[in-house]
Structure 1
Amino acid sequence: MDRFRELGVALWVISPDKAEDLEKMRASMGLEFPLLRDPDLSTIRSYGILNQESGKTPHPTTVVVDVDGVVRYVRVDRDYKRRPALEEVFAAIGNLARAGAPGTLIVLNKAEGTASLIDLTSGEVVATLPTGVGPHEVAASPDGRLAVVTNYGDREQAGSSLTVLDIPAARVLRTIDLGDDHKPHGIQFLGGSTRVAVTVEDSKAVLIVDIESGRVLSRLETAQEISHMLAVTPDGRRAFVANIGSGSVTVLDLDAGKLLANIPTGEGAEGIDITPDGRQVWITNRAADTITVLDAASLAILETIPSSSFPIRARVTPDGRSVLVSHARSGDVAVFDAATRKEVRRIPMNLTAEVTEGRLFGGRFGESSVPIGILIHPNGRQAYVANANADIISIVNLDTWVTDGFLTAGKEPDGLAYSALNVKPGDGGHAR
């Protein structure tokens, strides 16, 4: 209690139990803080922690809320005998005293066809912009002014367009029609701020698109099934494409415009990233529960690492020392030492999926929050993880390796990008 007082933290317990029972509990335990009754469960519901199986009781949960009522930490436990370590809670409280990371987080909300622009200093959504149906991935230009969204579509309608966003003005600049090239997905800027490389699954190809003219400049065939995500080497000369259906990685020479190799890695190859020095490629094989580490120059497989369950994205930290891998089934993020290629910890998202209808994976992973998209802030201190079945972005502190904050966006968040620019005051007139 003394430490909570020193930090200026007020404590409450919220429960649906009867008032007299709560008072007896407080007195018998000598508690110095109030036990508040929530008879209609409205407060419990607002935090998204109602046990849907019983419909009457909350999951045992620890919540840290700032003075503005914004939830900054949530720990949900299935067992009333389990509690988070106090140091974990104190870390979350300490995080509130630090200024938020600068810049704008761009979050794609797949189920509602929008992009949320979140001011990372305040943690507030400052604009919500329309995209096409099923926006899956987004890339921000090096100068942070533009972001390009791939409109993948849904089960009823395959998408074939890109949406270009002006971040400071918080508006849609244009929509680029890709014609007969359907299901655009992975995307990355090439060099400056005018060209992007984008995968198109139905065409088994990667397109190079000029986003100012809207023209497709060139097409590089992968000849693989479900060419999904891609990563470009720091020198911009090669692209590596993860192919879910073929369980492989395609290597493309962007200068020559030709296919160099198709390398089998494992069933369900999907997540992919390249180390900052350009020497290694990390690929997550979601159906095989493995990670493949590839030598980017020789194209030799250096190692295959077990990583359960359903590894779906990989992101390397800016210093190249760690690799973060999200696991959709288990609802956590694994951290690997990039040098030893060993898993050193797992970070639970501590969130429960309450609603699964109308989402890509539905209820396939039970109560998992289905963490997918990962973005690491350029400062190397925070990672943002999109929980697609919980509508929450978890903020992972990369100094302490704990989740110490949360952001809310729209329905089924997934694709993430970062801009160092903020939405200009008074703009956002096109925001919803």
Structure 2
Amino acid sequence: MTRNDILRLGLLAGPFASAALMSASPTRKTVLVVQEGLGQVTAFSPGDLEHRKIIQVGEKPHEIEVTPDGRTAFVSNFGLLEVNHQVGTPGTTISVLDVEAGVERGRFRLPPGCTAPHGLKLRPPKYRELFTNTEVGREAMVVFEAKTGAVLRTFDLPAGVHNFVFAGDGRSLFAFATTGRVIRIEPETGNLLAQAEVAAPRGLGWTADGRRLIVGGRNELVLLNPADLTVHARFGPLGVGQVFYPSASPDGRWIVAPAVLDGVVLVVDAQTGQVAQRLKTGSPLLAVMDGRRAWVSNVLVPPQMMPAGAAPRHGGVVLLDLDTFTASEIEGIPDANGIAVARLP
């Protein structure tokens, strides 16, 4: 698929696990790509790939979250290269972006002792609270008032929590820890409601119907019952190493599973667990659903994580078509990490 093919096709609206897609009757879309090493966010319209806005943010930004009206985006200025390779200086801020103007409007500051903000989510269904987990110093959840940046509360987290997702009703959040656990947490108090041992969890997502939590593991996907975190199903072996952030297609047919070091996105049958497609994209970290397509961020892989003599992987953005199973590179956006689609009225 060429760039012109992408422009002719347009991009059908569809849900994905971000507050950005909850607004009614969207008319305009902006793709927002966090470029970690460059400390910036690149914004562009899917219908005009060549005209882009560059928004400077903090050092080594990672995650991005968008408000339901598509007007504001939040970026976690993590400050470190990666959870297992902590090169850099732990960050202390969340950048607040005006999506339409394409500028950084300001920054929320973490309370003393909390640094290296990583996961970043608006709490449904009202989206008035912005949550971020901090990984250096105090391992905690910091809850901001989303409009003002005032710190509403903090609570301690189990060791090694790296990212999280909310249940649709906002009454529980689910975190994964690099210590090999998935945890259900009460978001008002931080009380642990349930936990499960899961080998090498490195990403969480929801099935299309919201009934099962999907965990990206080593060479497998694990589907958990959210109430008690018991295992509903295991899909694997998948023929890859570590699977990162999984996501489900809106029609419930597929689970898209990125495998960074293998350089492929797996398209897995959501009912049988069979791998239907292995699509080469470079170094995929996560995929954001956009109707029958998905925007995939590919990270820059540090040389120390690559086999000796391997070609460098500079990362970038790829658009997947889930009807034709084709992958099209969006040129000129290397070192991608977080990615989101904002929908403005």
Q: TM-score, normalised by structure 2?
A: 0.82
Picking from 214, 227, 234, the partner of 1:297 is 227
**Which stretch of structure 1 is more off in the superposition, 300-309 or 165-174?**
300-309
Separation in 2 of the partners of 1:297 and 1:279?
10
Per-residue CA shift, 1:358-388, capped at 9, x if unaligned? xxxxxxxxxxx211121111xx211011122
Picking from 135, 156, 159, the partner of 1:221 is 156
Per-residue deviation, 1:255: 5.0
SS in 1 for 2:244: strand
Q: What is residue 99 of structure 1 aligned with on the other side?
A: 10
Q: What is residue 288 of structure 2 aligned with on the other side?
A: 375
Q: What is residue 194 of structure 1 aligned with on the other side?
A: 128
What amino acid maps onto 2:229 in structure 1? Answer: L
On the 8 A contact 1:164/1:173 being kept in 2, the answer is yes
Q: What is residue 346 of structure 1 aligned with on the other side?
A: 278
What amino acid maps onto 1:235 in structure 2? Answer: D
Picking from 155, 173, 180, the partner of 1:247 is 180
Q: 1:96 to 1:145 in 2, by over 3 A?
A: closer
What amino acid maps onto 1:217 in structure 2? Answer: L
**Larger strand percent:** 2
Q: What is residue 295 of structure 2 aligned with on the other side?
A: 384
Separation in 1 of the partners of 2:95 and 2:214?
28
Q: Which runs of structure 2 are paired with 1:187-336 in the superposition (5 Å)? A: 187-191=120-124, 192-202=126-136, 203-225=138-160, 227-244=161-178, 246-255=179-188, 257-267=190-200, 269-285=201-217, 288-305=218-235, 306-307=237-238, 308-336=240-268
On the 8 A contact 1:234/1:276 being kept in 2, the answer is no
Structure having the higher Rg = 1
What amino acid maps onto 2:230 in structure 1? Answer: A
Per-residue deviation, 1:104: 0.5
Separation in 1 of the partners of 2:227 and 2:247?
20
The question of 1:184 aligning with 2:117 is answered yes
Per-residue deviation, 1:419: 0.5
On the 8 A contact 1:372/1:387 being kept in 2, the answer is yes
Q: Greater relative contact order (Cα 8 A, min sep 6): structure 1 or 2?
A: 2
Per-residue CA shift, 1:23-43, capped at 9, x if unaligned? xxxxxxxxxxxxxxxxxxxxx
Separation in 2 of the partners of 1:409 and 1:142?
28
Per-residue CA shift, 1:91-119, capped at 9, x if unaligned? xx755542356510110000010011111
Per-residue deviation, 1:257: 4.1
On the 8 A contact 1:100/1:122 being kept in 2, the answer is no
Separation in 1 of the partners of 2:171 and 2:100?
30
Q: 1:208 to 1:125 in 2, by over 3 A?
A: farther
Q: 5+ unaligned residues in a row in structure 1: which ranges?
A: 1-63, 66-71, 73-92, 350-368, 423-432
The question of 1:119 aligning with 2:32 is answered no
Q: 5+ unaligned residues in a row in structure 2: which ranges?
A: 13-27, 81-86, 301-313
Q: What is residue 406 of structure 1 aligned with on the other side?
A: 329
On the 8 A contact 1:116/1:409 being kept in 2, the answer is no
On the 8 A contact 1:106/1:418 being kept in 2, the answer is yes
Instruction: Using the aligned pairs only, state the percent identity.
Output: 25
Separation in 2 of the partners of 1:292 and 1:118?
34
Per-residue deviation, 1:258: 1.7
What amino acid maps onto 1:258 in structure 2? Answer: N
